Structure 1
Amino acid sequence: MKLWQKILVGAMALVVLLTMTGFAFRQTLGRRAIDHFTKELIGPRPAFRNTDFSVETEWVTMRDGTKLSTRIYTPDGDGPWPTLLVRDAYQFQKYLTCHYYVRYGYACVHQDVRGQGESEGEWYPLKHEADDGTDTLDWLTEQDFQNGEIALVGGSYLGLVQWAVADRLPPEVKTIIPTTSHGGFYDMVYRGSHFTQGIAGLWSAEIFHPLQDKEDATEQWLETVVPVRPAKDAPKDLFMGAWPSYADYIAHPDRTDPYWQQDFYRQIDQSYLSVQVPVLWIARWHDFFLEGTLNRVDDLPNRADSLLLIQPGQHGGLTNELNYTDKRFQGFETTLAWLDHHLKGVPLPETLRHPVIYYENGADRWETASSWPPAERQPLQLHLSQLDRSATCGGSLDETAPSSSEAVAQYTYDPANPVETNGGAFLLNPNIAPPAIADQGQTACERDDILSFLSKPFDTGLHIAGGIEVSLDVQTDAPETAFTVKISEVFEDGRVLNIRDDIQTYRPSSAAAGTALAFDLVPIDWTLSPGSRLRLDISSSNFPAFPPHPNKSGVWSEIAAPAIARQTLYGGSVNLPTVKR
C-alpha cells in the first residue's frame, strides 16, 4: 500500500470513529489508528516511554508579518522537555515525527512552511527558509516548554530547511538530522544538463495536491504536462502555486545562470561548511541526493562527532527487487538513539559510534568505516568490443583492448520513441515506473536503439565500491543530443538488476572518429554474486525520468519540434573501483 493510501485509510477510519465516540475516547482511538497505519513506515522501535500527550496550535509570526501554522506536541506531566523542530512542506510528516517522538519524552514542534498547509504566504521553494527558520528558532528558544536542548529532524524538503539554517544555529540546537537531502538544489533539478523531469517536474506538479489527490495529479502530469512541446507551454493549472518556481527551473538549465547564483541558493549550498553541531546525515544508495551528500560530508566542521548512515533504498524508502534481510539502522530507531544521546545525555550505542555505517548492496550486510569509499581499491578496466554486434545484445566487455580496426556501432535516436525508465534514482514516484532497482528484462535486446555489452562471468563475484566511470567515443549528426548509460548485474539465473545509470548532453566536434564523452556515475557499494556478469547498455533517452533530448541546440523547454539523430559509437571503456576481500 502506498504512503498516501495508508494515511488516507487511517484518516477515513478516524472520521468514522470520531463521529461515534466521546472526546477522550475519540482522542485515544484516533492516535491508535495513526499508529496502526504508519507502523510499517516507522519500522522497529522501542516501547513508548509515555502514552499521553497534548497538541496545541499557534501562529508564529515571521519578520515580514507572515504567520506560520505551528503545532506544539508536549508529553503530559511537568516540563520543560528536550524539543524537536520539524518544518514541513507536506503536512502529513507530523504523523511520522511528532506523533511518535512525543511519546519518548520529547516536546515536538511541527510547522507548515510558508505557503504550504495552513500557513500564510506564497510558496517558492527555499527562498524564505533561512529567514523563516531563523525566526522560528528565535521564537522556540523563548518558549517555556523547551529546556534548551533542541534538535532539527526530517527528510527530503524537511532536510533542506535544516540546511537553510545550519550556518546560523542558536546554541540551544545540539544536533541536526537531515535525511535524504543536501543544499545543492541545482543538482536535484538538473543532471548532466538534463532537467530531472521525474524529480523536480513531478514534485512541482504534486506538491499542492492533498494526499488523496496525488495519484490523480501524477496521472494528469503524465498525460497533460510531460508530452507538451515546448515544455514552457504546459498547462499551469495542475501546478497551482508551484508554477512560478517550475517555470524558472525549466527556463534556466545552466548551472552558471544568474538564476542559480541567487543568494538563497548559494547560502544553502554552502551552509554545511559552517555547521558546528554533530550531524546524523542519513542517505540512501538509490536516492538522487546521495552524490551531493558524499561530496559534502567529510567537510563538515564537526565531522569527528558526526555520522553518515547510508541505507538501502530510494528516496521514499526500500526498493523492491533486491533481497534485504538485515534491516538494522532503519530510520526511527536509529534517530531516537541519536537524539537520546545528544539531548538527554544517554550513552550512544556502540553500534552507532562510527564515522560511517553503510549497507552493502548484494552482500546484504552492514559495514562500518572511518570513511567511504575505502582508500584501498583496485581499478578494473573493461573495454567495449564487438561493437557491430552490440545492437543485438552481442557486444562484449573485455579486459583486453580491441584492435583499432574494430567496426563501429550505430543506431537511430527518435525523441518520439524514447527508452522507458526502468529503475534508477531519478524518478520521485515509483508508482509510475518500476522501483529504483528493477529487473531489466529483455528490453535492451528488443530495441534497436540500445547497444548492449556483456562481460565474462566473475567466478568469485566482484565488490564495487565507489564511482564507476564510463568513457565513450561517440559522434552524432545532430547539433546537440544526449547519450545514456546503464550498468547492470546479470545473474546466473537470468535476472538483470540495474546498478547505476546516467545521462549526458553531447555536442559534437569536427573529429571524424568521434570524441570522448565521460560519465561519472553516482558512487555505489555493490557486490556481484559469484557467476554474475556486468552489462553496459548505451542509448540516448530515459523517459519519463528525463525529457527526451530534442536533438537541437538551445534552451530545451523552448524547443517545439524535435529531430531524429543518427548516433555512432567508436569504442569506450568501463572503469570499476573494486575491493578485494
Structure 2
Amino acid sequence: MDEFGCKTYRVEMRDGVRLATHVHFPEGSGPWPVIFSRSPYPGMLPFWHEQAKFWTRHGYVFVIQECRGTGASEGEWVPFAHEEQDGLDSLGWLVRQPWMDGNAATYGSSYCGVVQWCMADRLPPEVKTMCIGFTGIERYRQNYMNGMFRHDIYTSWALGNSGVPGAARRPGLYREALAVRPHVEMDERLFGRRLPWYRDWVTEVSPDSPYWRNGFWAELKEKPVKTRVPVMMTAGWFDHNLEASVISFDKLLEDVRARSALIIGPWIHTEGVSGDLEYPGHDRFGPRQRDAALAWFNHHLKGMDPELAPGIQTYIIRENRWQAWTGGIGAGGLRAFHLHPQPVDAAARLLSTEKAAEPSSVSYRYDPDNPVPSRGGAAVMHYLTGDPDAVPPASVVQPPTGARADVINFVSEPLAEDLRITGRIRARLFVRSDAEDTAFTVQVMEVLPDGKAVNIRDGITSLAYRNGATVPIRYTPGDVVEAVIELWPITWTVKRGSRIRVDVSSSDFPAYHVHPNIAGTWALIADTRAARQTIHLGGMYDSRIEFPVVSDK
C-alpha cells in the first residue's frame, strides 16, 4: 500500500502502454463491488484518494486510473484520442481481478464523464450502471452557439491542457491568448508550436464540416442511443455542459431512459453553487451529489431497495424547491413579452405583454475593439483556474440599465403574478446591420424589488449561422432579418413584484469570441470594423421574448 492507503497497478493496454491504476480496498476479505473512474488531471489525484475513503467505507473497491500520458501513466497525452480503447482494456483487466464480485459501475464528472460515454456501448456485462456528472458529448454545440465560439470554456481549457510544460501556470496567458488576431495563430505565438486539435475547434465553424460529422465527435454524441445500462446523470443550471447533458439523456432509448435518472441543480462546474443568489436545499443529495450516487450504486450493485427513483428532478430557482418531472421538463404554454420603443425611464425601454402596433427601431454602434464584458451565466469556465479576473459564473448582479450605449435595455412593469419558466426561453429579434456579417446577443434577467438585476439566461447568434443554419447564410447589409436565439433550458420562477429585463447587444466577451463584423471564418480574420446595428420593434417586426411557462405546481 502507498501513502494514500491504496495499491497501484500498472495496467497494460493492447499497445503495451501501461496506465497507473490506483485501487482502494474496503476492510474485510471481499470480494466486493467496484467503482471505476478515469482522470487526466494529476492535480486532482489527492481529491480522488480522499473520495475513495467514502466509497470504501460503504463497502466498495474504488479504482482511479490516470489517463494515458498524464500523471504516472505512460504514453502520449492527446485529449480524447485513446479513451475508448484504454477504458475498455482497463475494464477487461478489472473484471478479471479476484477482489471484484461481478458487479461494477463507472463514475466521474466532466472529462471523467466523457471517458465513460466513450465505452458506454461496449461495456462488459459486469458493469451494471454508469454515474456521469456535468458532462457533455455534443462537442460542436458546446464549442459554438450559432456560429460563435465559446472562448471562456475551450480556449481556457486548451491552455490548461496544451501539454506544454508550465503553460497553465504562466500569469496573464489567457488574456494574451484572447488578444491574438488572427486567433488561429495563438498556439504558435504563445507556445512556439501548433495544437492541431485546438486549430480544428476554432476553424471548423460549420456543424456540417467533416470534422464534426465524421470520426470521433460524431460517434461520441451517438453513444447514448447505443447504451443499454441505466445511467444516473447530474447537471448544473450554470454548468457549461448543461445543454449537452440534457440532450444526451433525451437520446437514451425509451426503456433505458425509464430506468435512468437526471438531476439538475443550481450548480456550476464544481458541482456546487456560486453567484449572488441563495439556493436553500440545493444540497439535498450531499456534497457533489455523492449521496445520490451512493443510493444508485447500492441498488444496482448490491441489490438494495431503491432510494433514488428514475426520472428527472430539477431545482426551481427562486422557488427554492425540487420538482420531479414526468415525461421530461415541460411547459404548458408560451408567454410573450414584446420589445417596445417607448422609455420607462431615462435608460430603458418598455418590455410588455402587449405587442407594439406601430413599427419603430432603435440603433447602436458596435465596436469589436470595445466588447461588452461577460458577467455570469453558464457559458464560462475560466473561473476554475482561480484567476481573480475570471468571469464569475452563475446568477450574479448585473450592471444597471444605461451602463453602456451599445447595450439596449428593455424592462417590464412589476409582475402581478409569478412567472414559472420551464424550459427554453426563445428570443425573436428583427435586426439590421451595415456589416456583411455580425452578431446579436440577448440576456434575460429578473429585476428584484430592490432594483438589482440578476441574469437568468443569455444567448448569441451570428447572422451567418442564424436560425439553426448549418452552413453560413449570406447576409446583405441593410436587410432586415429575423434572428431566433434559443437559450438553454431552465426552471426559474420570476416572482410577483419583480420585473423582467432584457438586454440586446452584439458582444459577450470572453464568453464568446468578438465578432469582427467581417464575413468568413472568425479565427482566420485579423481585422475588425465597427458596425451600425438596428433592432426593429412592433408592427410586422415584432421583436419579442417567448417564455415557456407552467401555471400550477
Match of 1:74 in 2: 25
Match of 2:294 in 1: 336
Q: Secondary structure at the match of 2:70?
A: coil
- Conservation of the 8 A alpha-carbon contact between 1:188 and 1:289: yes
Match of 1:366 in 2: 322
Q: Secondary structure at the match of 2:374?
A: coil
Shift of 1:235: 4.3
Q: Secondary structure at the match of 1:114?
A: coil
Instruction: Tell me the distance in 1 between the aligned counterparts of 2:15 and 2:210.
Output: 26
Instruction: Tell me the distance in 2 between the aligned counterparts of 1:519 and 1:509.
Output: 17
Please, which of 473, 478, 493 is the counterpart of residue 430 of structure 2? 473
**TM-aligned CA distance change 1:242 to 1:265, over 3 Å:** farther
Instruction: Tell me the distance in 2 between the aligned counterparts of 1:534 and 1:486.
Output: 11
Once the two structures are superposed, residues 482-513 of structure 1 have per-residue CA deviations (whole angstroms, 9 ceiling, x without a partner) of 11100000011111110000111114744856
**TM-aligned CA distance change 1:121 to 1:146, over 3 Å:** same
Shift of 1:287: 1.4
**TM-aligned CA distance change 1:83 to 1:240, over 3 Å:** farther
Please, which of 435, 438, 442 is the counterpart of residue 396 of structure 2? 438
**TM-aligned CA distance change 1:184 to 1:242, over 3 Å:** farther
Q: Is residue 273 from structure 1 mapped to residue 230 from structure 2 by the alignment?
A: no
Q: Secondary structure at the match of 1:501?
A: strand
Q: Is residue 414 from structure 1 mapped to residue 371 from structure 2 by the alignment?
A: no
Q: Secondary structure at the match of 1:167?
A: helix
Shift of 1:437: 0.9
User: Map of 1:217-228 to 2, 5 A cutoff?
Assistant: 217=170, 219-228=171-180
| Letter aligned with residue 368 of structure 1 | A
Instruction: Tell me the distance in 1 between the aligned counterparts of 2:72 and 2:193.
Output: 14
Q: Is residue 486 from structure 1 mapped to residue 452 from structure 2 by the alignment?
A: no
Shift of 1:460: 2.4
Shift of 1:390: 9.0
Shift of 1:103: 2.3
**TM-aligned CA distance change 1:138 to 1:524, over 3 Å:** same
Match of 2:245 in 1: 293
- Conservation of the 8 A alpha-carbon contact between 1:391 and 1:449: no
- Conservation of the 8 A alpha-carbon contact between 1:440 and 1:496: yes
Which one is further off, 392-401 or 527-536? 392-401
Which one is further off, 193-202 or 179-188? 179-188
**TM-aligned CA distance change 1:479 to 1:288, over 3 Å:** same
Please, which of 447, 458, 463 is the counterpart of residue 506 of structure 1? 463
Instruction: Tell me the distance in 2 between the aligned counterparts of 1:211 and 1:80.
Output: 41
Shift of 1:413: 0.7
Match of 2:58 in 1: 104
- Conservation of the 8 A alpha-carbon contact between 2:442 and 2:504: yes
Q: Secondary structure at the match of 1:150?
A: strand
| Letter aligned with residue 461 of structure 2 | Q
**TM-aligned CA distance change 1:183 to 1:282, over 3 Å:** same
Match of 2:540 in 1: none
Match of 1:399 in 2: 353
- Conservation of the 8 A alpha-carbon contact between 1:468 and 1:520: yes
Shift of 1:337: 1.3
- Conservation of the 8 A alpha-carbon contact between 1:411 and 1:448: yes
Match of 2:142 in 1: 188
TM-score, normalisation: structure 2:
0.90
- Conservation of the 8 A alpha-carbon contact between 1:390 and 1:452: no
Instruction: Tell me the distance in 1 between the aligned counterparts of 2:409 and 2:532.
Output: 17
Once the two structures are superposed, residues 129-182 of structure 1 have per-residue CA deviations (whole angstroms, 9 ceiling, x without a partner) of 111111111111111121110000000000011110111111000010110113
Q: Is residue 149 from structure 1 mapped to residue 110 from structure 2 by the alignment?
A: no
Aligned length: 524
Shift of 1:519: 0.5
Match of 2:276 in 1: 321
Instruction: Tell me the distance in 1 between the aligned counterparts of 2:344 and 2:144.
Output: 30
Match of 2:77 in 1: 123
Structure in which a larger fraction of residues adopt helix: 1
Match of 1:555 in 2: 521
Match of 1:20 in 2: none
Instruction: Tell me the distance in 1 between the aligned counterparts of 2:495 and 2:502.
Output: 17
- Conservation of the 8 A alpha-carbon contact between 2:436 and 2:476: no
Match of 2:132 in 1: 178
**TM-aligned CA distance change 1:392 to 1:246, over 3 Å:** farther
Which one is further off, 145-154 or 452-461? 452-461
Once the two structures are superposed, residues 538-559 of structure 1 have per-residue CA deviations (whole angstroms, 9 ceiling, x without a partner) of 1111111112111111111111
Instruction: Tell me the distance in 2 between the aligned counterparts of 1:380 and 1:465.
Output: 11
- Conservation of the 8 A alpha-carbon contact between 1:392 and 1:448: no
Instruction: Tell me the distance in 2 between the aligned counterparts of 1:567 and 1:115.
Output: 48
Shift of 1:97: 3.5
TM-score, normalisation: structure 1:
0.85
Which one is further off, 484-493 or 339-348? 339-348
Match of 1:380 in 2: 335
Q: Secondary structure at the match of 1:77?
A: coil
| Letter aligned with residue 363 of structure 2 | Q
Instruction: Tell me the distance in 2 between the aligned counterparts of 1:526 and 1:153.
Output: 29
Instruction: Tell me the distance in 2 between the aligned counterparts of 1:511 and 1:211.
Output: 46
Instruction: Tell me the distance in 1 between the aligned counterparts of 2:536 and 2:374.
Output: 25
In structure 1, runs of 5+ residues without a counterpart are: 1-22, 32-53
Instruction: Tell me the distance in 2 between the aligned counterparts of 1:192 and 1:386.
Output: 27
Shift of 1:438: 0.6
Please, which of 475, 481, 488 is the counterpart of residue 522 of structure 1? 488
In structure 2, runs of 5+ residues without a counterpart are: 465-473, 538-542
| Letter aligned with residue 207 of structure 1 | N
Once the two structures are superposed, residues 225-249 of structure 1 have per-residue CA deviations (whole angstroms, 9 ceiling, x without a partner) of 1111111222448679993322221
Q: Secondary structure at the match of 2:57?
A: helix
Which one is further off, 462-471 or 87-96? 87-96
Higher RCO structure, 1 or 2 (CA under 8 Å, sep 6+): 2
Which one is further off, 446-455 or 318-327? 318-327
Q: Secondary structure at the match of 1:314?
A: coil
Instruction: Tell me the distance in 1 between the aligned counterparts of 2:191 and 2:35.
Output: 31
User: Map of 1:234-253 to 2, 5 A cutoff?
Assistant: 234-236=186-188, 243-253=195-205
Identity %: 35
Instruction: Tell me the distance in 2 between the aligned counterparts of 1:211 and 1:346.
Output: 47
- Conservation of the 8 A alpha-carbon contact between 1:475 and 1:568: yes
**TM-aligned CA distance change 1:210 to 1:140, over 3 Å:** farther
CA RMSD of aligned residues (A): 2.4
Which one is further off, 426-435 or 151-160? 426-435
- Conservation of the 8 A alpha-carbon contact between 1:176 and 1:277: yes
Once the two structures are superposed, residues 502-539 of structure 1 have per-residue CA deviations (whole angstroms, 9 ceiling, x without a partner) of 11111474485611000011111001122001111011
Match of 1:57 in 2: 8
- Conservation of the 8 A alpha-carbon contact between 1:124 and 1:242: no
